[in-house]
Amino acid sequence: MSTKIYRDAWGIPHLRADSASELAFAQGRNVALDRAWQIEVERHRSQGTTAAFLGRSSVGWDVFARRARLDDTARRCFGSLDEDTASWITRYVDGVNAGLDEGARRGPQFAAAGLAPGHWHPWTPLGIWLSTHILFAGFPTKLWREEVARALGDEAIELFATDGNGTSGSNGWLVTGERTAGGAPLIAGDPHRFIEDPGIYQQIRLACPEFDVVGLAVPGVPGIAHFGHTGSVAWAITNAMADYQDLYRERLRRRGADVEALGPDGWRPASAHRETVDVAGGDPVEVEVIETARGPVVIGGPDEEEAISLRVPPRVSGDLGFGALPALLRARTVSDVDRAFDHWSEPVNVVQAADTAGGLLHRVAGEVPLRHPDNRLRVVPAWEAAHTWRGRSEPLPRERVEGVAVMANQRGLAAPLGVEFAPPHRAERIRDLLEESHTWTAKSMATVHTDTRLASAKPLLELIATLGGLSTDAAALRDQLLRWDLRMDADSVDATAYAEVRSAVVRRIAEHPELEELAARVESAPYPELFWPWLALVPRVAFALEGLLTTAALPCLNRADVVRAALEEVAGTVRTPTPWGERHRLAPWQALPDAEPDAEPEVWPGLSGDHDCVLSTSSVPGITDHSMRGPAARYVWDLGCRDDSLWVVPFGASGIPGDAHHRDQLPLWLRGELAPVVTDWNRLTEESHDV
């Protein structure tokens, strides 16, 4: 049998080969054909070379990627791999290089950007993984906490905890056979990420004599890391919200042509060299790349007032955890999955798994360093020995599964490893819904995926209920909100009214004199533009609103007065009943949105949901109702019969504009429906050419 490519009705690739090596080549070639533009953008992001074809707007990222030494770290981690894993990744890269030219001819973005496809190195997939996840754990939040402490005092450093942040998330749940109609476990969920077009996840099947796996792959990375089903075992992950990246305040000085850094043992040489970032339509930008014993300097330098270095586990250990990827493909049992995730590095995840023999798994996987508690909270001084790393946290937490297991980034299983977690609302709602039935099926899980109840609205509504002496219009608005069913449905005008009042409250709190010094500090903070989303006051207030409305801190902030003024403000505007979906619209990220040959719709589709709903389609109250984050995929893995499993992505299997499968799953995704997982080769269509 030569290597074959099959497609189902949704254009999802099913790859079949004689060996794992040939299958890796086929996977690389396939992603180059289906997603050439996407993976080439990601390659350039990992190298810090996107501004050369995307222009000035990409300079900030490129400078960071160079200073953080992402490509060099990828090369270092590849060099530490065992021979078999390195060979497997190299075959994948060989496949990418074999398909890129043809893939680029299919993608109009290449001509629009004036970009020719480049050459992939064996370590490029590791660089893509690093660049995709380097900001995932939100280390810039430590810059924010530093400014909060300086403006409001150390006791306020966690005042704006959401319990959580606005940059990551996922829902994941495991239901044991006692609660399913078929008597076998179900694993379901949806990873929440920035919605990208093409999507961050590629539905795929990888089959050879050693294994046969369906799952969600990350384009540009071999194997199936996060979500997979081998037939006898299935697994899925959610973000554990662990803290494993540190920022150090560095003292740097020049000694002639050299740079030195002050550490616990005094002044020591730091590596330093210069690189140039090319910029389309602009002058090149020179970057000084400095690395101390803590890590690469990502903010400031020896000629500036402040310098801050970033320390991350893969840079320290030389291990990105890619040894887990081929092991997951070969997994047959929960024990196999468990052992594979023992080699996981980052991001730190909560893993759920089940097998056909009754095995169950609920654990944390990843590398979390042991260090001083302050390291997790803020920028710490590099010259104090107390802040050095002292190995890694082991063993990582795990729990026994009884009935159901739920992880939605809440404080729970991974609590000892983090600082801020998501509010408990999503996890509690999922558990409540699951406990309503003992006959769950893969199809019925859609009722959980699409639930829109917003429990986090209660503190604001409780304050609204106490208000008297309102104008006639404000009193009517108050009564409307108190009758609302708390559901952020796309057709709900009450949801829109709530969102308008919430945004007005957020803006008024952000403008309050109590936060004036903090506002001034973050506006003038000398941090690169790349980190500004973590430092903007209005989003910080928005995501922490529930806590800010109930905390005893900020004693000069009269919450009732703020809410009253917001209610009067909204009631005093000319308002027409507007369904939430007309305001809450999908806003996906595209590297080159104007490259589409056929014009995009002027307005993207409207969405149900909100940040703290199970259907977590996040906007930024006070800034925009458009949703940039949401379910980057949905899945249900059925351990009774793999062909009863279901999945969907926001757009489609193809990254090629105009292709029949570029956007064909969007209607399903919008309705909360899922496509069937088809594994019968006789129900698939074989492509006319071999690999």
Digit-coded pLDDT (tens) for 374-395: 999 999 999 999 999 999 998 9
Beta strands in 184-311 (DSSP E): 186-194, 202-208, 211-217, 227-229, 233-239, 246-250, 252-255, 258-263, 266-277, 285-291, 297-300, 307-311
Is the pLDDT at 69 greater than 90? The verdict is yes
Is the CA virtual torsion 648, 649, 655, 661 positive or negative?
positive
> CATH fold of 141-164+453-486+493-578, please?
1.10.1400
Where is pLDDT greater, at 359 or 136? 359
Interhelix angle 36-47/20-34, rounded to 10 degrees, is 100
User: In which residue ranges of the chain is CATH 1.10.1400 found?
Assistant: 141-164+453-486+493-578
**pLDDT given for residue 623 in this prediction:** 96
- Provide the token pair at 44: 């350039």
User: Quick one: average pLDDT of 412-441?
Assistant: 96
Strands annotated E in 417-487: none
Percent of the chain exceeding pLDDT 70 equals 97
**Closest CA relative to residue 298, chosen from 107, 518, 69:** 69
9-58 pLDDT, tens per residue? 999 999 999 999 999 999 999 999 999 999 999 999 999 999 999 999 99
Q: Above 50 in pLDDT, residue 419?
A: yes
Residue keyed to tokens 């953080």: 68
Q: For the chain, count helices (H), then strands (E).
A: 25, 25
Q: Environment class of residue 239 by beta-carbon count within 10 Å: exposed (0-12), middle (13-18) or buried (19+)?
A: buried
Q: What does the angle CA 315 – CA 321 – CA 326 come to, to the nearest 5 degrees?
A: 150
596 pLDDT above the threshold of 70: no
Q: What is the pLDDT of residue 166?
A: 46
| Across 411-417, average pLDDT | 94
**pLDDT at residue 164, as a whole number:** 41
Predicted pLDDT at 691: 54
What band does 476 get if pLDDT is binned at 50, 70 and 90? very high
Q: Which fold has domain 246-311?
A: Penicillin G acylase, beta-roll domain (2.30.120)
Tens digit of each residue's pLDDT (9 = 90 or more) over 116-155: 999 999 999 999 999 999 998 899 999 999 999 999 999 9
Mean pLDDT of 618-632: 96
What's 681's DSSP letter?
A: G
pLDDT at 167 over 50: no
DSSP class of residue 170 equals E
When pLDDT is cut at 50, 70 and 90, the band that residue 1 belongs to is low
8 A C-beta contact, residue 75 and residue 86: no
Q: What CA–CA distance (Å, rounded) separates 476 from 264?
A: 63
Numbered ranges of CATH 2.30.120.10 in the chain? 246-311
Task: Give the mean pLDDT of 496-506.
Answer: 98
CB-neighbour burial class of residue 458 (10 A; exposed 0-12, middle 13-18, buried 19+)? middle
Q: Which residues are CB-neighbours of 578 under 8 A, at least 6 positions away?
A: 493, 496
Distance CA 25, CA 690 (A): 12
φ, ψ of residue 220 to 5 degrees: the values are 100, -5
Share of the chain above pLDDT 90, in %: 94
What is the greatest pairwise CA distance in the chain? 80
What are the backbone dihedrals phi and psi of residue 404, each rounded to the nearest 5 degrees, phi first?
A: -140, 155
Q: Contact 98/690 with Cβ under 8 angstroms?
A: no
Determine the residue type at 374: D
For residue 511, pLDDT beyond 50 = yes
CA dist., res. 323 & res. 80, Å (int): 10
pLDDT tens for each residue of 522-581: 999 999 999 999 999 999 999 999 999 999 889 999 999 999 999 999 999 977 899 999
Q: 571-588 as b/e, with b when 16 or more CB fall inside 10 Å?
A: beeeeeeebbbebbbbbb
Could you tell me the end-to-end alpha-carbon distance of the chain, in angstroms, rounded to an integer?
11
Exposure string (b/e) for 349-379, b if CB count within 10 Å is 16 or more?
A: bbbbbbbbeebbbbbbbbbbbebbeebbbbb
Q: What is the DSSP-derived secondary structure letter of residue 212?
A: E
Confidence of residue 279 (pLDDT cuts 50, 70, 90): very high
pLDDT at 574 (0 to 100): 72
Computed over every residue of the chain, the mean pLDDT equals 95
Q: What pLDDT score was predicted for residue 689?
A: 61
Q: In angstroms, rounded to a whole number, what is the distance separating the alpha carbons of residues 433 and 274?
A: 56
What does DSSP assign to residue 487?
A: B
Q: pLDDT band for 161, please (50, 70, 90 cuts).
A: confident
User: Among residues 456, 466, 445, which one has the least CA distance to residue 488?
Assistant: 456
Is the pLDDT at 197 greater than 50, yes or no?
Answer: yes
Q: Is 305's pLDDT higher than 90?
A: no
pLDDT at 443: 98
Q: How far is it, in rounded angstroms, from Cα 153 to Cα 205?
A: 53
